[in-house]
Amino acid sequence: MIALSLHRAGHDASRHSSLKTKRTLGAWLILSTAASLAYADASGGYTLPPPPSELYGDLFVAVQTQGIYPDQKTFVDATPKMDPAQIVQAYHQQMATPGFSLTAFVAQYFTPPTDQSITPPPNQSLREHIDWLWPELTRLTTTANVPPYSSLIPMPKQYVVPGGRFREGYYWDTYFTMLGLQEAGREDLVDDMLDNFAYLIDTIGHIPNGNRTYYVSRSQPPFFSYMVELAAQKEGGRVYQKYLPQLRREHSYWMTGANTLQPGGAVRNVVMLPDKTVLNRYWDERDTPRDESYTEDVNTAKQVTGRPANEVYRDLRAAAESGWDFSSRWFGDNQTLATIRTTSIIPVDLNSLMFHLETTIAIGCGEARDFACVGEFVGRAAKRAIAINKYLWNKNGYYGDYDWKLGQPRNNPSAAMLYPLFAGAAWPDRAHTTANSVEAILLKPGGLVTTTFKTTQQWDAPNGWAPLHWIAVQGLKRYGRGDLSRQIGTRFLADVNNVYATQQKLVEKYVVEGEGTGGGGGGEYPLQDGFGWTNGVTLKLLDLYAPGQ
């Protein structure tokens, strides 16, 4: 399978509770003034302010705890009207005065993000609507137009946002958006977003979850190598060489600490199993509540007994890095968010993506005629493929996750089982067995259900997601199951068409099973429309299965 892949050209340890009670005004002034000067991220040369939780301290805690905005993401996306140090000082001076209103204070000192809702022209076909959406979702936020102290991280070129409350670019979303942009002839935007991500790798040291300061402590599923491959399919092998330095830095980021590991240990994103097999996990360098979901995380931690809150916060953050926030995949009991144990789990999707990253680096090194590097990364990919098929194969007939702390597979079938097929790391017989499991367990009237558990979380049943449908369609075609990929693709496309026909919008996720299909639900926020990755995947599926539509 390695040969096939190559020939394809293929801590802040401070707690927010202590911030509320132990910081003096003088200490806050020192902290905020230092924050206003910005600091250099330890991994690179780009300077950026701290996240809002650090900039505003107990003011941040008060705003989020009191629910000044219905959506916790609103405040962290708001722009301060003056130096944060001055705002913190004013807050401490006014907070104890009679009649003080936190709502009025926030309105006085912060500008909330602008409304992102869009109103399309009437009577557009689905394809016309997607074409109309691209410019509506395109942003340019350089250092010249990002306000001081904003949580938004500037990037040099244009990019496409998902839509709705997601006002910034997101890492793994972007790949699926790129698919549609390339299909629509917008190779310029594909190249722009690739350059933006290369810039983030060079300046921050990795591609954050999204271009916000509160996302910098984690990444997201590493699709950068797929983005490079996508551009290379149109522009030639030189693309591999152009982005080779960033591909290698991306790999180094995900493998940080691997050389220091002992059997049975873990550091950051890397785990070494007792037999010295090395695989990856999701992780976040912080162990505090997420800025954008502060109250939700605090409330989850309160439900947990027998574990320190910071461990719960780390696992919540790591699940956010996975992109599957939240899902039974990460729950100890497959049902309850409070049993989350993300960092104890070796995910099948992440390691499949790492396999692709390693094979892509080998291709890039071949383009650069660095044959020692080719040998190194072919070897790395071969070891990872063996490890995937040893530890991430479930005897029940599908690829799945592995709990390294318990030393056993996770018996939770999910659409992630198709990632080894998508990446080309699956053994052919196991790929066919997995396809049979997909057909028997996950295929529903509206497409592919995400997991078999109904938990009220958005990355569980009855929801289906555009990116997972594309992974399935491509993975199954790769291993000769075009019949099943067509069923999955056409059923999901019908679901998307149905919602568009009745509501004139594309949404973030869809219900694919039950009495009626439609827009999905569950999770921490209402259903969002826009929607970047749905647009991209839908356009690809239209051209595959309904080219005249």
* Whole-number average pLDDT of the chain: 92
Cα distance between residue 513 and residue 445, in whole Å: 6
pTM: 0.92
Cα distance between residue 468 and residue 416, in whole Å: 8
Going by C-beta distance under 8 Å and a sequence separation of 6 or more, which residues neighbour residue 424? 1, 4, 5, 8, 355, 356, 359, 478
Structure tokens at 210: 């999204």
Pairing outcome for strands 518-519 and 510-511 = antiparallel
Average pLDDT over residues 303-317: 97
Q: Is 400 annotated as a binding residue?
A: no
pLDDT for the residue numbered 47: 74
Is the pLDDT assigned to residue 142 strictly greater than 50?
Answer: yes
pLDDT for the residue numbered 1: 33
Beta strands per DSSP E along 383-511: 393-394, 398-399, 402-403, 408-409, 443-444, 447-448, 463-464, 510-511
pLDDT for the residue numbered 496: 97
For 428-470, the pLDDT digits (tens) are 999 999 999 999 999 999 999 999 999 999 999 999 999 999 9
Is the pLDDT assigned to residue 541 strictly greater than 80?
Answer: yes
When comparing pLDDT for 1 and 172, which is higher? 172
For 250-291, the pLDDT digits (tens) are 999 999 999 999 999 999 999 999 999 999 999 999 999 999
Cα distance between residue 218 and residue 37, in whole Å: 23
pLDDT for the residue numbered 115: 85
Q: Is 285 annotated as a binding residue?
A: no
pLDDT for the residue numbered 549: 82
Tally Cβ neighbours within 10 Å of residue 477.
Answer: 18
Q: Which residues are known catalytic residues?
A: 325, 508
Q: Are 466 and 537 in contact (CB under 8 A)?
A: yes
Helix/strand/coil (H/E/C) assignment for every residue in 186-252: CHHHHHHHHHHHHHHHHHHCCCCCECEHHHCCCCCCCCHHHHHHHHHHHHCCHHHHHCHHHHHHHHH
Q: Is 218 annotated as a binding residue?
A: yes
pLDDT for the residue numbered 46: 41
Residue 188: exposed, middle, or buried by beta-carbon count in 10 A (0-12, 13-18, 19+)? exposed
Q: Is 528 annotated as a binding residue?
A: no
Q: Is 284 annotated as a binding residue?
A: no
pLDDT for the residue numbered 325: 98
User: With bands split at pLDDT 50, 70 and 90, how would you rate the model's confidence at 21?
Assistant: very low
For 355-387, the pLDDT digits (tens) are 999 999 999 999 999 999 999 999 999 999 999
Q: Is 481 annotated as a binding residue?
A: no
For 476-499, the pLDDT digits (tens) are 999 999 999 999 999 999 999 999
